Amino acid sequence: MENSSNIWFEEPLSPGLLQRCLVSNIVCSTKSKYQTIEIIDTEPFGRCLIIDGKTQSSQEDEFIFHEALVHPSILTHPGPETVFIAGGGEGATLREVLAHESVKRAVMVDIDEEVVSLSKRYLPSWHQGAFEDPRLELHYADAKEYLANSQEKFDVIIIDLVDPLEEGPTYLLFTQSFYRLVQQRLTTQGIVVVQSECAALGYTRAFTSIAHTLSTVFPGVYPYKVNIHSFGGDWGFVMATQGLSPLDLSPEEVDQRIATRVTRELRLYDGMTHLGMFSLPKYLRELFDKETWVITEENPLTVL
């Protein structure tokens, strides 16, 4: 008898490279004002959120992405009270932020109310009730405009945006001018972290250019990576600081800060993981050293 399950989600990872996942259910498929949004159930990764054809996060490994995005920055800071999240519509970035006792206020600005609304309904294991936390202030707006029109400063700013697709809603938020604005909205010891696209050999141009662009604004720039299988490989992040450094934290110090400041068990992140994430391989460090592209509105970054 034939294998009957033969419905596949196909995602381009890079030119000439595709990933295909077996699909068991299409939970929803819609177009918002800004982008197309699909939630599907897959065999290898469980439920997945797909925006404009690209996997944003999956049930199986979203914890890797979101823990890697949030904890290094918040724990490098001595005790952040205010956190700003740009994007992050699934609510999982928020979930990780709110796991920190020091955080008194989280302002989240996502342009697309429909992503949040569908996530609330269909992605409960992502947000886990985080949208109900009284520390949250949620706005549906363009993060750049919001920050430009506000004077509030934050201890940590987390840039959790969808890929900078040509004509997509985010590509202007991967620019030097946006990072300058971000720097103005940080407190003195404030830290920003940016999800920074693919970190796999041969496809690191976004990763290295984001880091280089941040280095024109911030004195401390620290790229790191983790493996996210549903994204097809290694994924990059860049932390930028105004003096503090994640490299000053020993594994023991990271474990100590988690024990005293994080209110629940983490699955990915601890001292040893921290060490592994920031210890980039030689060929990748060399690519960062060689990068010269400063991303601007005139010379923007866009990915496949």
Q: Which is nearer to its own copies, 217 or 226 (CB)?
A: 226
Q: Which is nearer to its own copies, 214 or 284 (CB)?
A: 284
Number of Cβ within 10 Å of residue 223's Cβ equals 27
Contact 68, 44 (CB under 8 A): no
Distance, in Å, from the CA atom of 163 to the CA atom of 168, rounded to the nearest integer, reads 8
Q: Which is nearer to its own copies, 188 or 290 (CB)?
A: 290
- Catalytic residue of the set 110, 112, 160, 163: 160
Q: Which is nearer to its own copies, 185 or 257 (CB)?
A: 257
**Smallest distance, its own copies to C-beta of residue 161, A:** 15
Distance, in Å, from the CA atom of 136 to the CA atom of 227, rounded to the nearest integer, reads 29
Distance, in Å, from the CA atom of 32 to the CA atom of 197, rounded to the nearest integer, reads 23
Q: Which is nearer to its own copies, 134 or 202 (CB)?
A: 202
**Smallest distance, its own copies to C-beta of residue 144, A:** 19
**Smallest distance, its own copies to C-beta of residue 19, A:** 6
**Smallest distance, its own copies to C-beta of residue 229, A:** 4
Reading the block at residue 295, the tokens are 């991303």
Of 200, 177, 180, 214, nearest to 291 by C-alpha is: 214
Question: Collapsing DSSP states into helix, strand and coil, what is residue 106?
Answer: strand
Of 47, 36, 39, 42, nearest to 19 by C-alpha is: 42
**Smallest distance, its own copies to C-beta of residue 20, A:** 4
**Smallest distance, its own copies to C-beta of residue 276, A:** 3
Contacts 24+ apart (CB under 8 A), 260-264: 261/75, 261/79, 261/100, 261/101, 261/102, 262/71, 262/75, 262/99, 262/100, 262/101, 263/99, 263/100, 263/101, 264/99
Whose tokens are 């202030």? That residue is 137
Whose tokens are 């700003």? That residue is 84
Q: Which is nearer to its own copies, 79 or 220 (CB)?
A: 220
Q: Is 270 designated active site?
A: no
Reading the block at residue 216, the tokens are 């024109």
What are the residue numbers of the active site? 160
